[in-house]
Structure 1
Amino acid sequence: MWKDIAINGPGVVALECEGRFSKGDFEEMHKWIDRQVARQDCPALVLFMGKFEGYESPSALWADMRIDERHARDFSRVALVADQWWLELATKAGNTLTCTELRFFGPDQRGEAIAWARDGTGDARAPD
């Protein structure tokens, strides 16, 4: 399940993700992303993923990858807020594969993630 999170100020959109995602979840998310990028040119995206548990099926993973590929240039920055080590690794790997700047933040760094997404300030968690 995912839900739209209101962020004060312009230029930043956010989602909170929890549980296991289905293909249908990603199809609905894709529509939401399309609406957001139609409303504002190249917003920043903050993903709160502390309760994300993964994918229900291979088709859900494939739907996620299709969204990533289609929207690779639609966001100015993407901040991922989570505590799962594998999401931190995925963020680092993704940062080398896309032109959009990605950054991982720990769960206690929600404010820093929003600030960085908005204007490039705010420090990500120091590497372990």
Structure 2
Amino acid sequence: MIDVLPDMPEGVFGIRVSGRVAGDDLRDFRPTMDKLLDTGEIRIVEVISPDYEGFGPGGLAEDLKLGFGVMMRHHSAFRRIAVVSDMEWVSRAMHAFAWMVPGELKVFGLGELDAAKEWAAG
């Protein structure tokens, strides 16, 4: 599941992923992502909930299509992406693949959500 987070600083877009993220979840999220891309600079806070279980049916394929498509078309618009999670594998994965992510990427623990918001806005 993908939810939009309220109470984000000006110019920062926040999402929370939880449970299993299926292809339908990502297709439903696409219009929201398109609106974000219309803002110019892209600053994101992504919270990965402790109950996140990974991708469900069609989730990985849809995530790759959405993610790579967005990054290719809007690569220079990405400024900062804050990933917020207490799962060790998320932190390791983000550090391993940071070179692929446009803009700056920083990982925060769940207790550091306010710091992640502040950093993303900076």
TM-score class, shorter-chain normalisation, is 0.7 to 0.9
**Which TM-score applies when normalising by structure 2?**
0.86
In the alignment, structure 2 segments of 5+ residues that lack a partner are none
Residue 113 of structure 1, CA deviation: 0.5
| Match 1:86 to one of 74, 86, 89 | 89
How far the C-alpha of 1:44 sits from its partner, in A, is 0.4
CA displacement 1:45-96 (0-9 Å, x = unmatched): 0011123210113x21111122221222243111110111221122112211
Conserved? CA contact 2:22–2:56, under 8 Å? yes
How high is the sequence identity, in percent, across the aligned residues? 23
Opposite residue 109 of structure 1, the aligned amino acid is E
Pairwise mapping of residues 97-116 of structure 1 onto structure 2 (< 5 A)? 97-116=100-119
Count of residue correspondences = 117
Specify the alignment match of 1:125 in structure 2: none
Counterpart CA distance in 1 for 2:66 and 2:56 is: 16
TM-score w.r.t. the length of structure 1 is 0.82
Matches within 5 A, 1:49-60: 49-50=48-49, 51-57=51-57, 59-60=58-59
Following TM superposition, by how much is the alpha carbon of 1:105 offset from its aligned partner in structure 2, in angstroms?
0.6
| Shift of residue 27, structure 1, vs aligned partner | 1.1
Q: Decide which structure has greater helix share.
A: 2
Task: Return the match for 2:121 from 101, 105, 118.
Answer: 118
